[in-house]
């Protein structure tokens, strides 16, 4: 079994996150729709923090690199404090925990739905999976509030905060009020991906779980 932090990381990556460049004008909704229409690939550094009612959870910060190529391909690489790799190859979602020598495999189409993954890897029809509303301007960002239309997405509400040039933050809140905050930096909308970036082969000796 994964420990709680690894499970949490896997859940976040399982529903995945979109990193994007938006226009330097308009509301949060304008910027989100521009991203979905215009940004086909990208790469960014991320820092993920768990927050509860008392503030940031001690020791619950993770960081790494996120890469994506629409539709349906992404790689979410946790580097600190525990290595973990999540790959969507367009058909299958792979979660690899090297410490446990365990691979989890799931059909990608069952993993998207009304989740942040649909913003990244979907067919651009955001309103199919989400109720979208402008979230106003706070903390120097233009916000969008996305509410999943289905109840098994893992989160009750998703907030996306855009600065003048990119998606700077994402906040995912569950029904218990727990929030996962993700900060994106060093976004590159024209990265060069190696041919095997979005492929995954279970390492020899790894346990594979369906």
Average pLDDT score over residue span 35-51: 85
**φ and ψ at 110, to 5 degrees?**
-85, -10
Residue 12 C-alpha from the chain's centroid = 6
DSSP 31-94: HHHHHHHH--EEEEEEEEEEEETTEEEEEEEEEEEEEEETTTEEEEEEEESS-EEEEEESSEEE
Spatial distance between the Cα atoms of 163 and 62, rounded to a whole number of angstroms: 22
Spatial distance between the Cα atoms of 108 and 195, rounded to a whole number of angstroms: 20
| Beta carbons within 10 angstroms of residue 140's beta carbon | 9
**Confidence grade of residue 15 (pLDDT, cut at 50, 70, 90):** very low
> Within the chain, how many helices (H) and strands (E) appear?
4, 12
Spatial distance between the Cα atoms of 73 and 130, rounded to a whole number of angstroms: 21
pTM, rounded to two decimals: 0.77
Average pLDDT score over residue span 63-88: 89
What pLDDT does residue 20 have?
32
**Confidence grade of residue 204 (pLDDT, cut at 50, 70, 90):** very high
The per-residue pLDDT for range 138-178, each reduced to its tens digit, is 998 999 998 888 776 678 888 989 887 778 898 988 878 88
Q: Give 74 or 125, the one with higher predicted confidence.
A: 74
Spatial distance between the Cα atoms of 56 and 59, rounded to a whole number of angstroms: 9
Q: What domains appear along the chain, each with residue ranges and CATH number?
A: 4-188 (2.50.20.10)
């Amino acid at each position: 079994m994964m420990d709680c932090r690894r499970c949490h990381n896997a859940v976040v990556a399982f529903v995945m996150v979109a990193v994007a460049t938006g226009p330097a004008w308009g509301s949060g909704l304008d910027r989100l729709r521009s991203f979905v229409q215009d940004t086909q690939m990208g790469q960014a550094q991320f820092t993920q923090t768990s927050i509860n009612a008392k503030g940031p959870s001690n020791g619950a910060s993770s960081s790494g690199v996120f890469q994506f190529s629409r539709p349906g391909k992404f790689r979410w690489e946790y580097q600190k404090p525990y290595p973990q790799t999540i790959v969507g190859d367009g058909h299958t979602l792979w979660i690899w925990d090297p410490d446990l020598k365990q691979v989890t495999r799931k059909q990608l189409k069952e993993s998207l739905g009304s989740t942040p993954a649909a913003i990244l890897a979907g067919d651009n029809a955001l309103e199919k999976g989400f109720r979208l509303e402008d979230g106003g301007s706070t903390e120097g960002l233009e916000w969008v509030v996305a509410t999943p239309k289905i109840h098994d997405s893992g989160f009750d509400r998703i907030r996306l905060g855009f600065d003048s040039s990119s998606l700077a933050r994402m906040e995912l809140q569950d029904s218990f009020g727990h929030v996962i905050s993700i900060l994106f930096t060093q976004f590159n909308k024209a990265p060069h991906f190696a041919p095997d970036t979005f492929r995954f082969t279970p390492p020899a000796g790894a346990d594979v779980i369906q």
